[in-house]
Amino acid sequence: MSGQPYDENNIFAKILRGEIPSHKVYEDDHTLAFMDVMPQAPGHLLVVPKAPSRNLLDADPAVLAKTIAIVQKLAQAAQEAFESDGVFVAQFNEAAAGQTVYHLHFHVIPRNEGEPLKPHSGKMEDGEVLRANAEKVKAAL
Ligand code: 5GP
């Protein structure tokens, strides 16, 4: 366990409850995937289990098993949608490791040779761009 409690009012819990909007690309009974508002590269999306946990450290292994299968599905779709050379999958646990939102999530980021990543939690992307990128991923699913 990470030691710290899960906060029901974190931003991804609010997205999961539909209290704040997101550009969704995939949803099933256990998992939601949506575009990151501050993408590190075009097509940067987040895969989030619906079950509450702060991060990997306090997650139920059964939830992790379901989530990683969807991470794979979204990584394949993102690579196809953006015709990328590769896909970066990242996951941070606690502030010291770079975590800023305390509901477990996996970053899925298309990468191309020679194109550096933009900063983590950097610049907010235009909503129309996020909407169009979400459509591209959905079309590839
Ligand atoms: P972490 O640092 O916790 O691994 O990543 C949190 C991610 O969530 C960051 O990449 C950040 O850009 C993204 N993010 C923060 N707030 C929001 C939000 O309100 N909506 C969406 N879609 N992404 C967010």
Query: Of the residues 23, 105, 107, 120, which is catalytic?
Result: 105
Do the domain assignments include residue 5?
no
Q: In angstroms, rounded to a whole number, what is the distance separating the alpha carbons of residues 73 and 99?
A: 23
Please tell me the distance between residue 36's alpha carbon and the centre of ligand 1 in angstroms: 6
Do the domain assignments include residue 74?
yes
Burial 76-114 (b: 16+ CB within 10 A, else e): ebbbebbebeebbeebbbeeeeebebbbbbbbbbbbeee
Which stretches of the chain drop beneath a pLDDT of 70? Answer: 1-2
CATH number, domain with residue 115: 3.30.428.10
Helix, strand, coil content of the chain in percent (nearest 5): 35, 20, 50
Please tell me the distance between residue 7's alpha carbon and the centre of ligand 1 in angstroms: 15
Do the domain assignments include residue 6?
no
Kindly report the pTM of this predicted structure.
Answer: 0.97
**Residue-range definition of the domain harbouring residue 117:** 11-140
- Residue 74, helix vs strand vs coil: helix
pLDDT (0 to 100) of residue 3: 76
Do the domain assignments include residue 4?
no
Do the domain assignments include residue 21?
yes
- The set of residues, in sequence order, having a beta carbon less than 8 Å from that of 24 and lying 6+ positions away, is 32, 33, 34, 134
pLDDT digits (tens, 9 = 90+) for 96-116: 999 999 999 999 999 999 999
Respond yes or no: is residue 23 known to be catalytic.
Answer: no
pLDDT (0 to 100) of residue 1: 46
- Taking the CA of residue 92 as reference, the ligand 1 atom at the shortest distance is 4
- Name the token pair of 82: 């953006």
Do the domain assignments include residue 28?
yes
